[in-house]
Amino acid sequence: MKNKGFKASMAIVCLILGLMFAAQFKANLHNPDFIAANKLHEYSAQEANLRDQNEALVKQIISLRVKLVNMSSKGVDPTIKDTLNKANTASGFTPVKGAGLVVMVDDNPDPLRIGDNPENYIVHDITLLYIINQLNLGGARAISINGERLISSSEIRCAGPTILINLNRVSPPFEIRAIGNQQALTDALVKQISETDKLSISRIRMDIKKADNLTIPAYGGIVQYRYARIKTT
Amino acid sequence: MWFVVPLFLAIGFLGGIYLPVILPVYLTKYLAVAILAALDSVVGGVRAYQEGNYNSIVLITGFVTNSLLAAVLAFIGDQLGVALYIAAVLAFGVRIFQNLAIFRRDFLVKTGLVH
């Protein structure tokens, strides 16, 4: 008889092939690296949504803080009010405005010169830290980088291709705003540079502009004191 | 007669879905070429059946050895840093298409749609 045993053997083979298909299908479903296209769309929408929510909440935090500042200084002694205002300005919890500098810092767009280290062509966390330090040296009273207000506990650290400030991602070009004496700030940035620092910022782009009416946003994060207590005695 | 192919494929697939075993991700690459080899065996078997020279032993031995060989080839290729699985994909891919074409032709002739 022709085709003897077709049904039985083909059934077994097809059964196993079906099992293999299912195993592959299931493995891909459980693969954390494997994101289906429709999921990708969903996740990116979710991300945008959370980002919007986050932005709105940051705005709320800032407006509530400003409200709190205004309420707490209402009807108090002018000396206390003055101290309170100073403390609030120093803390970074209120937006401030005034004259100062806008320093634009960006990676070098030029092609790499032979013998040059490409590391010297990009803005690093250490570059920003150095500029901030010089601005503080020049008497800056409030500083922000790409809208991130720097407070006493702000960190600036490298996170791959971006830099984290106040745990938020910022990327070049960096716009550093500083309020203070324009001449002193410029001098600190341009004249009082050590030789090693000169080298480290020689390849990146830095553009210093004076601005008479600068606004520096308030700090949008949360400050928690778990370990530090005010010493009363 | 060859309704057993889709029927048992479906049964196997459903059974596999409900089986509480999940294949580790790093093995999926090898299973993929093994699936291709197995698919080639099934298509070849259907074609042989159509031509009237089907043999169970040929099908089952071909199914087992081709699947294993394809998976092992892919594995060896990974170890050597050469994409040897492409050899399996090409060989079985071409054969699947050829067998399907011949099967289709035979089928059309048998049903009298084409002379």
Instruction: Give the model confidence (pLDDT) of A63-90 as tens digits.
Output: 888 888 888 878 788 888 888 888 888 8
Quote the radius of gyration of chain B (alpha carbons, Å). 16
Residues A57 and A109 occupy one common structural domain = no
pLDDT bin (cut points 50, 70, 90) of residue A48 is very high
Q: Do B31 and A20 touch (CB under 8 A)?
A: yes
pLDDT for B95 equals: 93
Share above pLDDT 90 across residues of chain A, in percent, rounded to a whole number: 31
Please report whether residue A38 resides in a domain: no
Put simply, the answer to whether B28 touches A28 (Cβ < 8 Å) is yes
**Closest Cβ opposite residue A23 in set B23, B54, B55:** B23
Kindly state whether residue A151 falls inside one of the protein's structural domains.
Answer: yes
* A19 occurs within a structural domain: no
User: Domain total for chain A?
Assistant: 2
Instruction: Report residue A195's pLDDT band, with 50, 70 and 90 as the boundaries.
Output: low
B107 near A CB under 8 A: no
Same domain? A108 vs A199: yes
**Chain-chain contact of A21 with B9 (C-beta, under 8 angstroms):** yes
Contact by Cβ (8 Å): B44, B99: yes
Q: What is the end-to-end Cα distance of chain A in Å, rounded?
A: 106
User: Within a domain: residue A21?
Assistant: no
**Residue A186 forms part of a structural domain:** yes
Q: How far apart are the C-alpha atoms of A43 and A51, rounded to whole Å? A: 12
**Distance between A34 CA and the closest CA of chain B, angstroms:** 10
Query: Do A101 and A67 fall within a single domain?
Result: no
A100 and A79, same domain (yes or no): no
Measured in Å, how far apart are chain B's first and last C-alpha atoms?
Answer: 23
Per-residue pLDDT band at A194 (split at 50, 70, 90) = low
CA-based nearest distance B10→chain A, Å? 6
Task: Summarize the confidence of residues A214-232 as an average pLDDT.
Answer: 87
Question: Among A15-19, A119-123, A134-138, B90-94, whose mean pLDDT is lowest?
Answer: A119-123
Whether residue A85 is found in the same domain as residue A177: no
A164 with A210, same domain: the answer is yes
Tell me what pLDDT residue B80 has.
92
> How large is the greatest C-alpha to C-alpha distance in chain A, in angstroms?
111
Q: Can you give the pLDDT at residue B37? A: 93
Contacts of B63 in chain A (CB under 8 A): 13, 16
Would the CB atoms of A23 and B59 count as touching at under 8 Å? Answer: no
**Interchain contact B65–A (C-beta under 8 A):** no
Name the residue range of residue A135's domain.
95-216
**In sequence order, what are the residues at sequence separation of 6 or more whose Cβ sits closer than 8 angstroms to the Cβ of residue B87?**
B73, B77
Q: What is the CATH number of the domain that holds A137?
A: 3.30.70.1880
Helical ranges in chain A per DSSP H: 6-29, 37-72, 78-91, 125-137, 182-190, 195-201
Query: Do the Cβ atoms of A14 and B7 come within 8 Å?
Result: yes
**A106 inside domain:** yes
Q: What is the pLDDT of residue B94?
A: 95
Cis peptide before A161 (omega within 30 of 0): no
- Chain A touched by B87 (CB under 8 Å): no
Average pLDDT of chain A? 86
With beta carbons less than 8 A apart as the criterion, state whether A120 and A110 touch. Answer: no
Whether A123 has a pLDDT exceeding 90, the answer reads no
pLDDT of residue B92: 93
Taken in order B62, B65, B67, B73, the sign of the CA dihedral is negative
Is there a single domain that holds both residue A129 and residue A158? Answer: yes
* Interface touch B12/A3, C-beta < 8 Å: no
* pLDDT above 70 (res A34): no
pLDDT of amino acid A8: 87
Q: So what's the pLDDT on residue A198? A: 64
Beta-strand relationship, A205-216 and A96-106: antiparallel
Nearest-by-Cβ selection for A10 from B4, B10, B31: B4
Over 90: is that where the pLDDT of A144 sits?
yes
Instruction: Please state whether the peptide bond connecting residue A173 to the residue before it is cis, i.e. omega within 30 degrees of 0.
Output: yes
Instruction: Check whether residue A64 and residue A125 sit in a common domain.
Output: no
Q: Would the CB atoms of B60 and A12 count as touching at under 8 Å?
A: yes
Q: Is residue A121 part of a domain?
A: yes
Whole-number pLDDT of residue A84: 84
What are the chain B neighbours of A18 within 8 Å (beta carbons)? 8-16
Which residues of chain B, if any, have pLDDT below 50? none
Q: How far is B15 from chain A (nearest CA, A)?
A: 7
Residues A58 and A131 in one domain: no
Q: Can you give the pTM of this predicted structure?
A: 0.57
Which range (A58-72, A105-119, A191-205) has the least confidence? A191-205
ipTM: 0.88
A192 or A105, greater pLDDT: A105
Of A127, A96, A82, A86, nearest to A213 by C-alpha is A96
Taking residues A1-16, report their average pLDDT: 83
Judged against a pLDDT cut of 70, whether residue A201 lies above it is answered with: no
Is residue A202 over pLDDT 70?
no
DSSP state of A174: E
Q: What is the pLDDT of residue B38?
A: 93
